[in-house]
Structure 1
Amino acid sequence: MTLQLRVYVPPHPLIKHWLAVARDASTPSPLFRSAMTELGRWLTYEAVREWLPTKEAIVETPLAPCPVTFVDPEVPIVIVPILRAGLALLEGAQSTLPLASTYHIGFVRNEETLEPSCYLNKLPDRFAPQVRVLISEPMLATGGTSMAAMAELVNRGVDPAFVRIVSIVAAPPALQKLSVAYPNLTVFTAAIDEGLNNRGFIVPGLGDAGDRTFGT
């Protein structure tokens, strides 16, 4: 069977609403942060469907025994925000996955070459087998930072099939790079935009997600 990158754009009305708020250039920073939190929450909710490991059990209700399904606590779940903009989605993701561990990785982009360089890496030397990893990366533009983050994860034993990238806006160049390198990866995004400008920014996009989140 041929593997191919799976990209989902959930048609949830709340995702569409908060994306519209985030796109609006007149949205002030506090409201933009709220929009990012909500997008992180609802996109994570969609991303973990049929992804979280579960286990069957029997519990006693006040009236009778009942078969139930729990999230399996034996399989580790990890959130990896790509700094700095990935922090904007973290609160929403954590509210959906409160038992997940969080590991930070930071990249800065050279504005001339558009290539990323890593300035912070708090990933463990080795991840547990079968770990589920959710990457928060608001803008999948050139694909440089997401590709670099995936390389670090794979080098530490993560199976790309168990990785979900949560993004607000994605562009074809990033999706094409990820598809070639990691065809069994899955991306959840609020929108796929038409392309990039000559500075590597997504058009129409929503501007610099980090600057707008932190008011810088």
Structure 2
Amino acid sequence: MSLQLRVYVPDHPLVKHWLAIARDKNTPTPLFKTAMKELGKWLTYEASRYWLPTLEAAVETPVAPAPVTLIHPQAEIVAIPILRAGLSLLEGAQEAITTNSVYHLGYKRNEETLKPSCYLNNLPEEFSEETRVLLLDPMLATGGTIMAAMAEIIKRGVNPANVRIVATVAAPPALKALSETYEGLQVYTAIIDQELNEQGYIVPGLGDAGDRTFGTN
């Protein structure tokens, strides 16, 4: 496998359907939350396809012994939603895979400088190099927040190749920043939009995912 950044946009009707619902400005908050949950589930399903460590074993069916494949019981799999918007993907992600722990990173963007500032970090001091991290951030726009989050994770010992980023919409500036810094990283997103506006929002995007999830302005 090449060590360069890999970006996957699953060509799946369910992903496309729920993205369409999330994009629509007339979608009410409860339905928007459902759309984000579904996107979290299906994108995590795709992200975990060749990522989860497995164990070969055997079980007894009612008829005969059968070889089986299980998720390795000693695998350390953690989810890290970036607050607030990342919470919209968490429930669906946890329907797709079982995580050992959920940690939180909270960032607030300065609307003048477009730089993020961290207001919550409950990550442990150190992760194992074998820890698998599911990093949830719906909007990869300028790349400031996701790069700050990645820095916090990597300095705690995580191998970038063991990180899977799940996003709803990504834009080239964020993907470029990630590709220039982290070899072997993989990103799963429902779509890549090509433009950012002057405020650093993705165009056409889907607006502010946090506000739309929680019904705030």
Superposed pair shares fold, TM > 0.5:
yes
Partner of 1:50 in structure 2? 50
Deviation at 1:2, TM superposition (A): 6.0
CA–CA distance in structure 2, aligned partners of residues 22 and 2 of structure 1? 33
Measured against aligned partners, the alpha-carbon deviations of 1:98-126 in whole angstroms (never above 9, x if no partner) come to 34310011000000000001100010011
Structure 1 unpaired stretches of 5+: none
Q: In the TM superposition, what are the counterparts of 1:39-188 in structure 2 within 5 Å?
A: 39-188=39-188
Structure 2 unpaired stretches of 5+: none
Deviates more, 1:48-57 or 1:125-134: 125-134
% identical aligned pairs: 68
Deviation at 1:4, TM superposition (A): 1.3
Amino acid aligned to 2:22? A
Measured against aligned partners, the alpha-carbon deviations of 1:108-152 in whole angstroms (never above 9, x if no partner) come to 000000000110001001112311000010000001110001000
Contact 1:94-1:100 at 8 Å conserved across structures: no
Partner of 1:30 in structure 2? 30
SS at match of 1:46: helix
TM-score (norm 1): 0.98
Deviation at 1:27, TM superposition (A): 0.5
TM-score (norm 2): 0.97
Deviation at 1:36, TM superposition (A): 0.3
- Runs (4 or more) in structure 1 with deviation over 2 Å come to none
Contact 2:142-2:174 at 8 Å conserved across structures: yes
Deviation at 1:196, TM superposition (A): 0.3
Contact 1:173-1:195 at 8 Å conserved across structures: no
Contact 2:79-2:99 at 8 Å conserved across structures: no
